[in-house]
Every structure is written in structure tokens, then in C-alpha cells.
């Protein structure tokens, strides 16, 4: 018997694990416009887990773009990632099954502006007693979309090898670095 060890994409595998939890959540909370403000302990747990992975992947992406990078905050990630991918605020992820389109990095059109879901995560994490209501379905879905976009950029040279594909989220249009800071949209839907 010959067993070939496949190349492992650890952050993609973690995304799929988080996505599985989000899919299970959809059995209890319908992903619809009416429920976007819904919040719960489970949504808070997932939001904090997803945002923590965004932090990890954003740091790795910055290191890939600039090996000397010392980026360690959302503001510094924004500076470095936006410099290489200036159209990231237009990056689109969708959840076709529920008719949802996400622009998770849209706040990055303004300098030093964190995404709404990132700010909500920090408020829920540090001031849960007064901001628990910000652990919403909308913030969770945007955070997942944000993670998907970062993973697409991080694995951009290997994106075609990410298997299995996401069951819920589709990066309809996302950014690919073409070298020399030339960026184009590519549609994978």
C-alpha cells in the first residue's frame, strides 16, 4: 500500500471546521434579513473564534507580503494588506443558499477604520456585560466572509487546491495579486 501525504492547508481546514459550526447554527436560526440582529452565546463563541483566526491569517498574510512586517493590529493589517490589494473593500463573498452577499472589508475604504464586525468582536470580548447584543448573526457572517477573503489572498497561489470547497460560502469575486501590485478580480462562482 502506498499512502501519499497530501499538502495540508491548516487554516483552510480550520475555516471548514468553523463553517461546519455556522451551518449547524443555521438549523436553529434562519439566515435571513429579519434575523441579522439575532444574538446568542453560540454566536458570540463563533464570532470570537472566527475573529481570532482572522487575526492569525492577517498576520501571516502580512508576513507573506513583507517578510519584515511587524503588523499585529487590525490598523496595521489594513495598511499592509490594502497597500498590496487596494480593492479589498470591494471583495465579495456570498451565501447563495440564503441569498446573502457580504462585503466584509468594505470599511477599509477609509484609513484606520476597522470592520464593524471586528469592533463588535472586541466589545463582546472585553465588555460583554454591556455589548453582548453585538454578537449578532450579521457580525458572525461578515467575520466568516472576511476570513474567507483573507484565506483566498493568503493561499492565492494554491487556491485551486483548497479542498473540500466551502459548503456555505462562495468567494464570488475576490482579489488575486498579479505581481507588481497589479490586482484583478477573478470569479470562481
pLDDT on residue 183: 41
Residue 184 has pLDDT above 90, yes or no: no
pTM confidence score: 0.89
Q: Is 172 helix (H, G, I), strand (E, B) or coil?
A: strand
- Answer yes or no: are the C-beta atoms of 144 and 50 closer than 8 Å: yes
pLDDT of residue 177: 42
CA distance 180 to 162: 25
Among 27, 11, 23, 12, CA closest to 141: 23
Q: How many residues does the chain have?
A: 189
pLDDT digits over 61-116, tens only?
A: 999 999 999 999 999 999 999 999 998 999 999 999 999 999 999 999 988 899 99
- CA–CA separation, 174 and 185 (whole Å): 5
Band of pLDDT at residue 164, cut at 50, 70 and 90: confident
Question: What are the pLDDT digits (tens) for 120-144?
Answer: 999 999 999 999 999 999 999 999 9
Query: What pLDDT score was predicted for residue 171?
Result: 66
Q: What confidence category does residue 6 fall into, taking pLDDT thresholds of 50, 70 and 90?
A: low
| 8 A C-beta contact, residue 132 and residue 44 | yes
pLDDT cut 70: percent of the chain above it:
88
Please state the domain extents for the chain: 10-54+83-187
Amino acid at each position: 500500500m502506498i499512502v501519499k501525504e497530501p499538502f495540508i492547508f491548516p487554516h483552510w481546514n480550520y475555516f471548514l471546521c468553523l463553517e461546519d459550526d455556522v451551518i449547524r447554527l443555521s438549523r436553529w436560526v434562519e439566515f435571513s434579513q429579519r434575523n441579522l440582529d439575532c444574538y446568542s452565546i453560540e454566536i458570540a463563541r463563533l464570532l470570537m473564534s472566527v475573529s481570532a483566526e482572522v487575526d492569525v491569517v492577517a498576520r501571516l498574510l502580512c508576513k507573506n507580503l513583507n517578510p519584515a512586517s511587524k503588523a499585529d493590529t487590525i490598523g496595521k493589517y489594513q495598511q499592509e494588506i490594502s497597500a498590496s490589494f487596494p480593492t479589498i473593500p470591494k471583495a465579495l463573498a456570498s451565501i447563495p443558499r440564503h441569498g446573502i452577499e457580504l462585503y466584509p472589508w468594505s470599511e477599509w475604504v477609509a484609513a484606520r477604520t476597522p470592520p464593524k464586525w471586528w469592533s463588535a468582536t472586541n466589545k463582546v470580548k472585553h465588555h460583554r456585560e454591556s455589548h453582548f447584543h453585538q454578537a449578532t448573526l450579521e457580525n458572525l457572517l461578515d467575520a466568516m466572509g472576511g476570513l474567507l477573503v483573507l484565506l483566498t489572498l493568503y493561499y492565492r497561489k494554491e487556491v485551486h487546491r483548497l479542498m473540500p470547497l466551502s459548503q456555505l460560502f462562495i468567494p464570488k469575486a475576490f482579489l488575486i495579486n498579479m505581481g507588481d501590485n497589479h490586482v484583478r478580480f477573478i470569479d470562481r462562482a
